[in-house]
Chains A and B, each alone.
Chain A
């Protein structure tokens, strides 16, 4: 085996792009000022911070003053949910069963505090029916939080349709757009969004930086205190280098790359579905992220497949119970209606703009061979035939 390494786990994180890295560099040892300082060092940092804010705002058609920088998607989601809940004091929240843990865990916490939460079902492809959102709205509903695109199966929600409903009823809508940012259309005005979580490291930016869009006029209670940073909403010295990198990443991703990644994704999906028996595609056939492929293989277990592929240099991920500390299968796959035994054989491959057609060919071949090798060990596969 050669030493080829192919990274197909971009939904977990992405490599920092060269341009991003270079844009960040001066902000470590040259322009290292604290953006809150009044001297020239501080003002340099402040300028970079505000310029970055404008560049990021542009990518979602928001005002720069509506962008609050955070440490990443998890903090943004926590701030949105807990910040709105604290402001309202009581009430009802609507979310879905396939949200990221950084939505579901705060929801559980809010239930403990006396809020009520409705977890909407999704269809077999992972789509939330906007009609279900309308149907779940109550007099006391304070917030709807539906992720724009799912991190595991890549299903993209019709967030604009949901936005029309919530805006008409005067209920706030939050969306976690960490997976979709710069890949799918995001326009806070057109889609009637009130709060949006995004982060840098899913779009070839650095880890540890994200943002929350908060529509002007929406009041939120800070979840960290001790400074006047970020309009008093998020205390703490801003990560200027990270934020500069984030803005650069937001500018250089998307566009033509989306079509390129779609081509690779379709190659990856078709190559495996046509070359392997007993496999299904998890997620929506069309309404899916340009970089997501998620398969369910019968007769094998995902962690074993992941490790076999890793030994061949192909890095993927799985929703199998065996790969999680809790030994519970993915809540997303279960919500799609998969049986636990079907979840165990799942494999997620998420590609990036730096992958090539040749790499995808190699990955398809490796998947075919390792699925076949593992089925050779499996009693379940033979019994099926």
Chain B
């Protein structure tokens, strides 16, 4: 059911762990829904010098977390904010439709980390990112009923 790339990232995830000196962390998901992702970032200048993750979830959740950290590492903040879940899916050789929400969660985790960083450091937060932050928080499911992507 999963592509070779997904299985590769699932079996050998990149950038696993916590950053002791992280500048910010994005926490997304909810235990009720089954996926929790924490994305840690270390920023130097305008670039993501390091990105790490911890994830509780299925193979797709772990693989997409791994992929998003791999892609984001070394990017500028603006570049990282442009990362789309579609890019994650494509670079993993596709995901089963029912698992696409995992790639959304991975990108959301990164966005939340950047939002957290900008806020903490008194830097300007774009209107778009504020809206994304509000959407992400509104989508945190509260019950066993799944709301992500209508599935």
Q: Mark A residues whose CB is within 8 Å of B.
A: 299-301, 303-304, 307-308, 311, 320-323, 325, 327-329, 334, 339-341, 344, 376-382
Contacts and interface: CB of A to CB of B under 8 A. Distances in A.
B95 to A, nearest CB: 12
B56 A320 contact: no
Given A299-B56, A301-B56, A377-B13, A341 B32 contact: yes
Q: Which of A301, A325, A378 has the most CB of B within 10 A?
A: A301
Contacts of B2: 307
B124 interface: no
A376 B151 CA distance: 29
A334 B145 CA distance: 13
25 contacts: A299-B56, A301-B34, A301-B56, A301-B61, A303-B58, A304-B59, A304-B62, A307-B59, A320-B34, A321-B34, A321-B146, A322-B57, A322-B58, A323-B58, A328-B146, A329-B34, A341-B34, A344-B31, A377-B55, A377-B62, A378-B54, A378-B55, A379-B27, A380-B31, A380-B36
Interface string B29-64: 001111111100000000000000011111111100
A379 B57 contact: no
Contacts of A304: 10, 57-59, 61-62
A327 B151 contact: yes
B122 interface: no
A299 B34 CA distance: 10
Nearest to B151: A327
Q: Which of B10, B58, B59 has the most CB of A within 10 A?
A: B58
B20 interface: no
Contact of A301 (B27, B57, B146): B57
B28 to A, nearest CB: 11
B16 interface: yes
Q: Give the secondary structure class of B's interface.
A: mixed
B7 to A, nearest CB: 8
A321 to B, nearest CB: 5
A307 B8 CA distance: 12
Interface string B91-115: 0000000100000000000000000
Interface residues of B, number: 29
Nearest to B101: A327
Contact of B144 (A300, A320, A329, A380): A329
Contact of B98 (A301, A327, A376, A377): A327
Nearest to A303: B58
Given A301-B34, A311-B11, A328-B146, A379 B54 contact: yes
A339 B56 CA distance: 16
Q: Which of A300, A322, A382 has the most CB of B within 10 A?
A: A322
B66 to A, nearest CB: 9
A216 to B, nearest CB: 45
Contact of B58 (A301, A325, A329, A340): A301
Q: What 8 A-B pairs have minimum CB-CB distances, sorted nearest first?
A: A322-B58, A379-B54, A341-B31, A340-B144, A303-B58, A378-B56, A344-B34, A380-B56
A340 B34 CA distance: 8
Contacts of A308: 11
Contacts of B11: 308, 311
